[in-house]
Chains A and B, each alone.
Chain A
Amino acid sequence: MEAITEMNKMDATFLEEAKKRSGEDLSLCYQCLKCTAGCPTAPIMDIRPNNIIRMIQMGMKQEVLGSSAIWLCVSCETCGTRCPNKIDIGVLMDALREMAIDEGIHAKEKNIHLLHEAFIDSIRRGGRVHEATMLIDYKLRSKDFLTDLVPGMMLFMKGKIPLLPSLVKGRGEIKRIFERCKK
């Protein structure tokens, strides 16, 4: 009975959807574990990269899209470079994050998602990233005010966080790009 309930939770379309969104042929994986062996953040992931692929094959959509793993991937591309079946797992992770956002699934690593958003909004405002306002924006969003105050101050003291932003003149062009790339 339990097994049948488990089966009902599986989403048979997930594999096809993940293949389509990432452009990667996930059926080729034969679980050699090279991806996980070389992954620098696998030790802190809740689901290791090889298991992410296996769980996609099994249709475990909620578990995969709700995992911390998809947010802890830093896109170092070690996995994709070494995969004997040429599956670019870094690109897959990008696609899974977008799928999670589209499905309205909350990021298990909330601050990582907030940092990406603060960074993108900084580009949206000026066409270039302005570290000072981007970092303040991230701190306000995450309400994590104390972490990394010392490194931040060190950079500031070294004159490496300018107060004035450097702005793109063609902000209309940037605005149009953002509008066209809106979800």
Chain B
Amino acid sequence: MRFSYFPGCTDHSTSYEYGRSTEAVLKTLGVDLVEIEDWNCCGAAATHSINHLLSLSLPARNISKAQAAQAGPLVIPCAGCFNMLKRAEYALKNDEARRKEIEDIVQFNYDPGLEILALIDVVLNRVGLDQIREKVKKPLTGLKAACYYGCALVRHPKVTGLDDPENPQYMDRIMKAIGAEPVDWSYKIDCCGADLALTYGNVVQKMVGKIVAMAKEAGAQCIVTSCGLCQANLEMRQDAGLPVFYFTELMGVAFDSEKKNTWWKKHMISPKGLLESLGLG
């Protein structure tokens, strides 16, 4: 199986361990990732907040690079980047005048045949649970996990078209397949505060505090995410000491990936104690 791959700016910075665990896990699953050539920033919330046209044109350049690569559907691990590229795709598909304008700015011809997919969607629906189960060496028996989806993966549903926007299950199903126990809880799609963390840290502290408290109340020993900003906010703006994983890291533990110990060093809340207590260290 082969996919075009958009790693995004945080791949070698704030979400370093997401990038490395993604590479390790997809290699185990026999998926080839072809990094698109000379990709640029997706534009993030900053562009769509104050410059709409730029917020469509920057992702469109990446779409043009993925089209040129002809290496299959475009897969994106970061939920934020995924959302930005899907917003551009939505405009390109549904607004002809806008499409022409963007094509002129980026100088390409849009091909609606290019699929743009979130990594979690590829893992669940393209690779599949049977393949995942087959690769499990150390099932995560006894690990209670609160699967946290946040905003960008599931909203706006007309744009992302992924899972159930009010009670998503993709991550829960993957966690079950690797032997963990996803808890039922009601904060899986509540916002972490996103980039308000840099301007209103005290507000984000409260938002994260509520999410972490609800995960604990549901009996979770950790939170699982698929977004760099969510992961950073959840880890850095809580004082409850609850570990926060990327879903690919837990898959790496179940597959007994060689380099998993290098990922834990990047965490603000070390998950080592938790993993060791379950014989998964």
Contacts and interface: CB of A to CB of B under 8 A. Distances in A.
Contact of A154 (B52, B106, B166, B236): B236
Contacts of A159: 16, 266
A97 B47 CA distance: 11
Interface stretch (A2-10, A49-57, A59-67, A121-129): A121-129
Contacts of A41: 196, 203
A177 interface: yes
Interface string B124-150: 000000000000000000000000000
Contact of A76 (B13, B151, B157, B198): B151
Interface stretch (B53-61, B113-121, B272-280): B53-61
B52 to A, nearest CB: 6
B42 to A, nearest CB: 9
Contacts of A168: 38-40
Contacts of B182: none
Interface in B196-217: 196-201, 203, 207
A158 interface: yes
Interface residues of B, number: 52
Interface string A36-80: 000011001000000000000000000000000000101111101
B51 interface: yes
A81 B266 contact: no
Nearest to A112: B199
Contacts of B50: 94, 97-98, 101, 113, 116-117, 120
Given A41-B203, A177-B105, A138 B57 contact: no
A43 B87 CA distance: 28
Interface residues of A, number: 56
A98 B46 CA distance: 12
A21 B193 CA distance: 26
Interface string B78-91: 00000000000000
Given A94-B49, A94-B52, A98-B52, A74 B193 contact: yes
A74 B46 contact: no
A116 B46 contact: yes
A123 B58 CA distance: 10
A159 to B, nearest CB: 7
Interface in A77-135: 77-78, 80-81, 88, 90, 94-95, 97-98, 101, 109, 111-113, 115-117, 119-120, 123, 127-129, 131, 135
Given A131-B13, A170-B38, 5 more contacts: A94-B52, A155-B14, A158-B265, A177-B105, A180-B53
For the complex of A and B, the 10 pairs showing the least CB-CB separation, nearest first, are A119-B46, A77-B155, A76-B191, A181-B54, A116-B46, A76-B151, A40-B191, A127-B40, A180-B105, A129-B9
Interface of B: 9, 12-14, 16, 38-41, 43-54, 57-58, 61, 104-106, 151, 155-157, 165-166, 189-191, 193-201, 203, 207, 232, 236, 265-266, 268
